[in-house]
Amino acid sequence: MVIFTMILIECAQFAEYNVEKAHREVAMDKKIVFAEKAPAPIGPYNHGIIINNVLFTSAQLGLNPATGELVNSSFEAEVRQAMDNMKAILEAGGTSFDNMIKCSLTLTDLNNFAVLNKIYSEYVKEDTAPARSCVASALLKGARFQIEVVAAL
């Protein structure tokens, strides 16, 4: 019984130490990324944020950077515009598609998945491809595709 009680006390002390450690404030150098070649944000957010040499991007639609209007002549054109917008943000942050860690894709129609993959592979090399997810959901402005990325610098 004494050994069991000592183990419980040690476990409690270890847990308390880890909670303290987890709640310590960590000084982070937060940098805002704005890409001239991407559509201006349409709300209170930035194109990207860099913390600890990692770029977290806001999701991009296939908006024309000059007009802010959706490029909707075709699904392919919309995807290419969204990918170009993301490329501009990655470059403004000092990185590229080659350094992606995680990529989140959203489609409104999963029947477009094969077309998306074909275009995506024009931008992303297989040997540097990130972890990736793809979901179906409604999107703003009537868009059919969106991309969000986390990339290393």
Which residues are annotated as catalytic? 134
Q: Is 120 helix (H, G, I), strand (E, B) or coil?
A: helix
Distance of CA 21 to the CA centre of its chain: 28
SS3 content of the chain, % helix, strand, coil (to 5): 40, 25, 35
Cα atoms in the Cβ-side hemisphere of radius 13 Å centred on 102: 10
50: Cβ contacts below 8 Å, ≥ 6 apart:
30, 31, 33, 56, 93, 94, 153
Burial of 7 (0-12, 13-18, 19+ CB in 10 A): exposed
